[in-house]
Amino acid sequence: MAAPAVPASLTRPKVDLYSDTVTRPTAGMRKAIAEAEVGNEQAHEDPTVNRLQDMVAELLGKEAAVFLPSGTMCNEIAYRVWCDHGDEIILDETGHALHFEAGGPAALAGTMTRTVRGVRGIFTGSDVDAAIRPKNRHAPRQKLISIENTANLGGGAIWPLETVKDVAAAARRHGLKLHMDGARLLNGVVASGISANAFAADCDSVWIDLSKGLGCPVGGVLAGSADFIEEAWRFKHQFGGAMRQAGIVAAAGVYALEHHVEQLADDHTRARRFAEGIAAVKGVRVAANEIDTNMVYFQVDDTGIDAPAFSKRLMAKHGVRIGALGGRLRAVTHLDVDDADIETAIAAVRAVAAG
C-alpha cells in the first residue's frame, strides 16, 4: 500500500529556525541518558535528578531546586506557591505566562494579572510603583512581580542587572515577591557576561529551561529557598508533575549544563549574522542592532506579503521554517543550526521577498 502523502506542514525543514525547542539530543547527550543512574525521584532516591537539582541550585545561588517536566510548570507552580485565589501578579504585557500558558495563572493559581508596559519586555521599579493598588478590602491583593529574562516577545532582550535590582527594590518597598522566568537566562548570562547567580540574587524564585538553547528533550528546574521548594514539591504532585525514574531525562540536563552552555555564544553570533543578512533585503524591517541573544523578530509587510504567507512560502519553496507570531516573523538560532544554514535562510528570505 502506498504511504499516505505527508502534508507539507509535516515534512522536515532543511533549516529550522522555528524555535530553540526543536533541537534533538546530541550523541553525547543520548549516551548520558542511556547510562543514567536512576531511582524514585519522589523519594529523592534518583541520584541523577538530585545531582541536576543541586547543580541548578548552585548555579542560581539558591538553597534548593526542583526538576519539573516543563518551563510552563516552573512558572505555574511558582505562581501557585506565592499566590492565593484572587491575588494579583504584576508582569509585562508581553509576558509568556500571559499569552502562551493557556490561562494557567488564572486556572491553576486563581490569580489576576496586572500588566505594565515595558520596553522590549523590560520594565522598571517606577512602572511597578505605578501599578500598585491601594491596600483595602476592595482591591485584589498584590503578591508577586514576574519578570522574564531574556524576554521572548521582547526579542530575546536581556534585562540590565541594575533594572532587575530596581524592580527587586520596588518589590521590597511594596511587600511583593519577585519571580524570574529564566527560560533563556543562560543565553542572557553568556551574552552579557553577568553570572546567573547575580541575575538571580534578588529573586525569590527563578528557573531555567533545559529544552531550549541547552538542547535537552524535556524539563525545567525551579529554584528558591528550601521552604519555597518544599511547597513547590507539594504542587508538583498536585499538578501531576511528580515522576519516578526521572534521572533518564535529568541526565540530559546534567550533560547540557556541562557541555552546552558556552556554545550559546555561537547561537548569538548566528542570530546577529542572520539579522544583518536580512536587513539588506528590500521590504524587510529588522532592528539588527537589537539582537542581544538568539532571537530575531522581523517585519515583512513592505514586501507586500503578510507574515503568515511569507512564513508558508519560506517553508514550501525553500524548506526554511520561520514562524509567524503576531504580525512579525521570528527566527531562533540553536544547537541544530550552523553557519551554512544561516546563509541558506538569508537567501530564502531574499528570494521570497523578491516575489
Residues near ligand PLP, by CB under 6 A: 70-72, 75, 96, 148, 152, 181, 183, 209, 211, 220
Between CA 142 and CA 134 the distance in angstroms is 10
159/303 with CB nearer ligand PLP: 159
70/115 with CB nearer ligand PLP: 70
100/280 with CB nearer ligand PLP: 100
Neighbours of 112 (CB within 10 A): 18
154/247 with CB nearer ligand PLP: 154
Neighbours of 14 (CB within 10 A): 14
CB of 146 to ligand PLP, least distance (A): 10
Sign of dihedral through CA atoms 123, 286, 275, 294? positive
Which residue number is nearest to ligand PLP in terms of Cβ? 71
CB of 33 to ligand PLP, least distance (A): 18
CB of 117 to ligand PLP, least distance (A): 18
Is the preceding omega at residue 124 within 30 degrees of 0, hence cis? no
- In sequence order, the 6+-apart residues with CB closer than 8 A to the CB of 103 are none
CB of 72 to ligand PLP, least distance (A): 3
53/152 with CB nearer ligand PLP: 152
CB of 209 to ligand PLP, least distance (A): 5
CB of 98 to ligand PLP, least distance (A): 11
Burial class (CB in 10 A: 0-12, 13-18, 19+), 248: middle
CA neighbours within 13 Å on the CB side: how many for 288?
A: 14
32/153 with CB nearer ligand PLP: 153
219: left (phi over 0), alpha (psi -120 to 50) or beta: left
Give residue 218's identity as a one-letter amino acid code.
V
